[in-house]
C-alpha cells in the first residue's frame, strides 16, 4: 500500500515537476514585486512568492522522504519562466492591467499543472497535500484575475 514515504516513481516525478514550477513562480513573483511601482500589487506578488516557496519546500520534503534528491533551482526553460521573462518587460512600463493579465496567464499555467498532476496521481497518499496547494493556487489565480478586471 502506498504511503507518503513510499510513493511510486511516477508520483515522485510529478512532485519534482511541481517543485520546479513553484520555484519558478516564486522567483518570478518576488522579482516582479521588486520592480512594480503599485504597492498593492507588489504586496500581493510577494505573498504569492512566499506561498509558492512554501509549496516547493513542502513537496521537496516529500520527495526527500522517498529517497530522491529534490529539485532546488526551478527550470530555466519552463513555461512559467517564459511568462516571467515576458512580465519583466511590462512591470516597469507601469501598465497594471497588462502586468496582472500576464500574471493571470502564469497562474493559469500553474493551475493547469496542478490539475494534471492531481489527475495523474488520483488516489495517491499525497493528494491531500496537492489538493490543499491547488486550492491556494486557484485562490491566488482568482484574486489576480479579479484585480486585473478592476483595472480594465
Mind giving me the DSSP string for 51-88?
Answer: HHHHHHHHHHHHHHHTT-PPP-S--TTSHHHHHHHHHH
- Three-state DSSP at 124 gives coil
pTM of the shown model: 0.87
- Which sequence spans correspond to the domains of the chain? 9-150
What is the per-residue pLDDT across 47-94, written as a single tens digit (0 to 9) for each?
A: 999 999 999 999 999 999 999 988 776 665 555 555 555 555 555 555
Q: Report, in this order, helix, strand and coil percent for the chain, each rounded to 5.
A: 75, 0, 25
- Give the domain 9-150 fold: Ferritin (1.20.1260)
Concatenating the DSSP letter of every residue in 9-27 gives: HHHHHHHHHHHHHHHHHHH
Rounded percentage of the chain residues whose pLDDT exceeds 70:
85
C-alpha span between 29 and 53 (Å, rounded)? 10
Q: What SS3 class is residue 89?
A: helix
Amino acid at each position: 500500500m502506498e504511503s507518503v514515504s513510499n510513493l511510486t516513481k511516477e508520483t515522485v516525478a510529478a512532485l519534482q515537476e511541481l517543485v520546479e514550477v513553484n520555484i519558478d513562480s516564486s522567483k518570478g513573483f518576488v522579482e516582479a514585486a521588486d520592480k512594480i511601482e503599485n504597492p498593492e500589487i507588489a504586496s500581493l506578488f510577494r505573498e504569492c512568492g512566499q506561498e509558492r516557496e512554501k509549496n516547493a519546500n513542502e513537496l521537496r520534503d516529500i520527495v526527500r522522504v522517498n529517497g530522491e534528491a529534490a529539485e532546488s533551482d526551478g527550470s530555466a526553460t519552463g513555461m512559467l519562466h517564459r511568462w516571467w521573462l515576458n512580465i519583466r518587460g511590462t512591470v516597469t512600463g507601469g501598465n497594471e492591467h497588462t502586468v496582472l493579465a500576464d500574471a493571470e496567464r502564469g497562474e493559469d499555467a500553474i493551475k493547469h499543472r496542478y490539475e494534471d498532476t492531481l489527475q495523474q496521481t488520483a488516489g495517491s497518499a499525497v493528494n491531500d497535500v496537492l489538493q490543499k496547494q491547488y486550492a491556494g493556487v486557484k485562490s491566488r489565480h482568482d484574486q489576480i484575475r479579479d484585480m486585473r478586471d478592476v483595472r480594465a
